[in-house]
Amino acid sequence: MTFYNQARRLGRWWTYFIVATVVLGLVLSVIGDPILNRLARTCPAPPTYRADVPADLRTSLDLLFRNGLLYCSGPPKGMRTMTEPIYWGSDGVSSILFYQSDDLSNVYLVRYGFGENPSAAFIPGEPGASPPAGFKEGQAGRAALTNQAPEGSDYFYRVQGAPLTSDGVVAVTLDGPAVAQPKGGGRDAFRDIETLWDWIRRKPASELESTRVMTPISIVPGRWENASRRVVNPALADAAGKPTLQVLRSAAPTEPTLYQTVSGLLHTTVWVAGVVSGTRPAMVLQPAGGSPGVSSASATEPVAQSGWISTSATDRLVLAHFAYDPLPPGRYRAEYWHDHKDAAAGTPDRVWEVTVP
């Protein structure tokens, strides 16, 4: 067979491959969602809570479950004290990681994040937000993945920010006591090699008896989008009324400007654009009407906040988000200070009317 004929045959097979790829893409575009929904199933039932789990945490998890937003894994394999599932859920504004055990004294969360795959998972930010396009959280250092429950609790939980709409997996890695194994034979060969290598390196006995388990939880990207409501400042929104990086860059606000308000099942978040760089701002919400700067027993303080800085070297956009416990829909008065140190001293630097959707 000549090289010409071989080239023609190769070209023919390459054409078949391209056609098959296109057909597969079309098929997946039609039936892909049902397949993904089957692979990344939500929990069939809410957790069976231990006695010390507080009512507000139960309410939040049950709310996520009722809205089809609570996922769960099986018990982490190989860990002696972890015999229950790991639960995770998000409303697109915040997220909750939750698990229980008879003994959590030697169980440690060593890695936790969201991503398109486990290796690309990023650490969640502060509650009330997912990373805006083109921005990174302006926090120094990395958050310690400690238990937010009281010391000695039989449960672990963390309330943090939400994933991106493209994220399809939650990566959770735990260290804890290993399931007892026979001294030799009848056990996993890789575990034998790992144990031998640990012995050669003279690891302490306590470490030889522990194990590290990575438990990925498959989630349906963007399923939570319909669980949140949004109102965007028209001056910073595109023609469809959505917040986009292009419009924000074009407007390039140089002083604090109300950006958007987002309401979810877990939190209500108010965003501010054009934040003064290098300061930690403050914001409280008051009932609509009244006089700015007058303290009120009905003022609502944020439960979490964070600053966001643009990743582009060509602009210096700075955002801030302020997360509050879920607020009833309606009108509020937002009082904003450039620096939190001035919040208790006098009149706010900015006052906006905020509509909570």
DSSP state of 164: P
Q: What local confidence, expressed as pLDDT, does residue 205 receive?
A: 56
> What's the one-letter identity of residue 98?
F
**Predicted confidence band of residue 295 (pLDDT cuts 50, 70, 90):** low
* Amino acid making up residue 164: L
- Token pair 């009932």 in the structure block, residue: 287
Encode pLDDT of 297-351 as tens digits.
678 999 999 999 999 878 889 999 999 999 999 999 999 999 988 887 778 999 9
pLDDT in tens, 70-107: 999 999 988 999 999 999 999 999 999 999 998 999 99
**What's the CATH number for 228-356?**
2.60.40
Residue 183 tokens, joined: 């001294």
> Where do you find CATH 2.60.40 in the chain?
228-356
Average pLDDT over residues 209-232: 91
Confidence class of residue 25 from pLDDT cuts 50, 70 and 90?
A: very low
What is the distance, to the nearest Å, from the Cα of residue 294 to the centroid of all Cα atoms in its chain? 36
Sheet holding 257-263, edge to edge: 135-137, 304-310, 318-324, 268-273, 257-263, 229-232
Q: What mean pLDDT is reported for the chain?
A: 85
Q: Tell me which H or E stretch contains 356.
A: strand 350-356
- 10 Å CB burial of residue 356 (0-12, 13-18, 19+) is buried
pTM: 0.82
pLDDT reported for residue 64: 97
